[in-house]
């Protein structure tokens, strides 16, 4: 580890977490990693990381510990549970939760973190596996401005668009807003592709034309070609976006905000998951529109 760099722990080595650790390694850090599946730990250990046997051990050996986990309950267990991070609370420890979870749960965890004398940021990300691999994630952070500045070298190793959004929980609120737009754009692209294709237009032509006008968007750029090919190798799984839609609707109820189209797209994701397609990429929302239309753009 280079002089002056803090000791980093990293918990959660899935589709997003593993490439994020690799970018920390490239930046000169030697993360201490932990994951329930030991295969991912061993893989990163071979690349220069060190291994921990529990979340508690990762925190004990760290100045800053990052969590990148699937859901609210996972973060609660890792932070507050047996052999969890708070069992290793020590002076100066900063917890950065980069998972996408409920803002309500974030605030509940933060209250316990504060009681233990530990610092916390919520810093969810956007950009999918491609952004995680390239180190170009968008990072939206909530918490103390001083803690944000302390974490900035880590964020710069993993992301490109980095914003301090306000107090604790603000990062999760902004991420919920992000996930609304992503979900609704995927659904809109799916409708456009199926309408055009069933009306007799080549899906590749639709993609090329839409990508050159006001309808251009990142979903078309990153997922349009794979949607046409029905390649739904997950960059972000449909079941996780369904989880995010639940967070969005829960937050909307808390603040009295009407999200009628988000509620509809939530039901589409529920249909995918109930049909056993939850581990496909979230762009597989296309399959719902195809089923409702009795038409596959892949077979046009």
Q: Tell me which residues are annotated as active site.
A: 175
- Measured in degrees and rounded to the nearest 5, phi and psi for residue 268 equal -65, -45
Give burial (CB, 10 Å; 0-12/13-18/19+) of 115. Answer: exposed
CA diameter of the chain = 65
Pairwise CA distance, residues 62 & 64, whole Å:
5
Q: Cα 153 to chain center, whole Å? A: 20
Q: How many CB atoms lie within 10 A of CB 143?
A: 27
Name the DSSP class of 56.
H
């Amino acid at each position: 580890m280079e002089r002056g760099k803090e000791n980093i722990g990293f918990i959660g080595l899935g589709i997003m977490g593993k490439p994020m650790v690799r970018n920390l390694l490239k930046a000169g850090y030697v993360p201490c990693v932990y994951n329930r599946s030991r295969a991912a730990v061993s893989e990163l250990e071979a690349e220069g990381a060190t291994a921990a046997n529990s979340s508690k051990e990762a925190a004990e050996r760290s100045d800053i510990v990052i969590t990148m986990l699937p859901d609210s309950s996972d973060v609660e267990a890792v932070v507050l549970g047996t052999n969890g991070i708070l069992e290793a609370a020590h002076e100066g420890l900063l917890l950065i939760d980069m998972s996408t979870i409920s803002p309500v749960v974030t605030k509940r965890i933060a209250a316990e973190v504060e009681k233990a004398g530990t610092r916390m940021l919520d810093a969810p990300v956007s950009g999918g596996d491609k952004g995680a691999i390239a180190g170009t994630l968008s990072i939206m952070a909530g918490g103390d401005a001083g803690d944000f500045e302390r974490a900035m070298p880590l964020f710069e190793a993993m992301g490109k668009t980095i914003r301090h959004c306000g107090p604790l929980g603000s990062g999760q609120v902004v991420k919920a807003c992000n996930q609304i737009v992503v979900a609704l754009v995927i659904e809109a692209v799916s409708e456009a592709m199926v309408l055009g294709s069933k009306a007799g237009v080549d899906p590749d032509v639709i993609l090329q034309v839409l990508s050159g006008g006001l309808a251009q968007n990142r979903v078309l750029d990153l997922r349009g070609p794979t949607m046409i090919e029905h390649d739904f190798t997950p960059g972000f799984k449909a079941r996780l976006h369904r989880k995010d839609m639940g967070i969005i609707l829960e937050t909307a109820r808390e603040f009295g905000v009407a999200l009628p189209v988000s509620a509809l797209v939530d039901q589409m994701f529920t249909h995918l998951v109930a049909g056993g397609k939850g581990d496909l990429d979230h762009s597989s929302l296309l399959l719902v529109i195809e089923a409702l239309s009795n038409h596959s753009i892949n077979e046009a």
